[in-house]
Structure 1
Amino acid sequence: MNSSYEKETERLRYLILAAQRQGNRMLNQFLSSSGLTSSTAEVIRVLEEHEPISLKELGSLLICETGSPSRLIKGLINEGIVEQVANPKDSRSKLLRLTKIGKSKMKFIKDTEQKFYEQFFEVFTMDELKNTNLLLSGLIKEISDTEALKKRGLVE
């Protein structure tokens, strides 16, 4: 492989890492006053759209965590944000849903995400954002499991 290709690939790798790290820092900073993190906010957003769902189903929809999100859910249950309810189709299993407290967190999360997105609108035009998303979607489809992204309509 030629060295300029390797150099550009390495550059892309570290730019993606830096963007992801900084994006998480920014979002976590916006969320900090609520006691939420970007990961817990994602869980709440997914539950709002798909509740009631099983822990396994929730895990299949999350981007922030691979595998079972049981640690995240345990914390949200302890905080009264999420509750377990009986599964009407299978009495041996439980489903997860937001509590009133969890639903009240949604407005804060949506407002916070809007502030976060506005910072991107100051940097990128809509065409630049679409092109960046297209390039990253193509990359992710080739190198990663995209099932959660597909289920959430984030890639085709």
Structure 2
Amino acid sequence: MRPAEQLRYLILAAQREGNRLLGQALRPLGVTPSQAEVIRVLQDRGPLTLNGLGELLVCESGTSPSRLVERLVAAGLVKREVATHDRRHIEVSLTAEGAELGREIIKIEDDLYRSIDAAADGHDLEPVFGFLRTFVADLPAGQALARRARR
């Protein structure tokens, strides 16, 4: 297997396994990893326009998060309102129930991050981070991640 192919499949395997672990942990809360990402972004940055939310999502980069938001609205976790500054824009924010769920999601994410930290213990990850940032820098998901990092 050539190095680029090995790298591709290692990244894919890590992403799938991480998402599987996250999905299992989120299942009792009744949300998917993509829905959890929407809740967390709104928790950190909300309220946002639908387009503004879409620009910060890695799970749905390059597409409108409308379907994700609609499911969360139906579940009573997110509310949609016409923006006061421009009636053409829809603003989304968390309901009280969504904010409470966001706090539960943080606990689950922290558990996952502790597991990743333990696996990474003793490894210098800075070269890996540098390579991956360069690799995704000009791609939609990489741009969304960069926008989220700029707090």
Length-normalised TM-score, structure 2 = 0.90
Partner deviation per Cα, 1:111-155 (whole Å, 9 max, x = no partner)? 00011011112111275333322221122226x23321111017x
Partner deviation per Cα, 1:54-109 (whole Å, 9 max, x = no partner)? 11111111000121011101100000000012311013432100001100001111
Q: Over the residues paired in the alignment, what is the CA RMSD in angstroms?
A: 1.7
Q: Partner amino acid for 2:131? A: L
Partner residue in 2 for 1:61: 56
- Structure possessing the higher relative contact order (Cα contacts under 8 Å, 6 or more residues apart): 2
Q: Which 4+ stretches in 1 moved above 3 angstroms?
A: none
Q: Partner amino acid for 2:33? A: S
Choose from 70, 76, 87 the match for 2:72: 76
Partner residue in 1 for 2:136: 140
Choose from 21, 32, 43 the match for 2:27: 32
Aligned length: 148
Partner residue in 1 for 2:13: 18
Rg larger for = 1
Structure 2: gaps spanning 5 or more residues: none
Are positions 1:85 and 2:81 aligned together?
yes
The alignment-based identity, stated in percent, is 38
Structure 1: gaps spanning 5 or more residues: 1-5
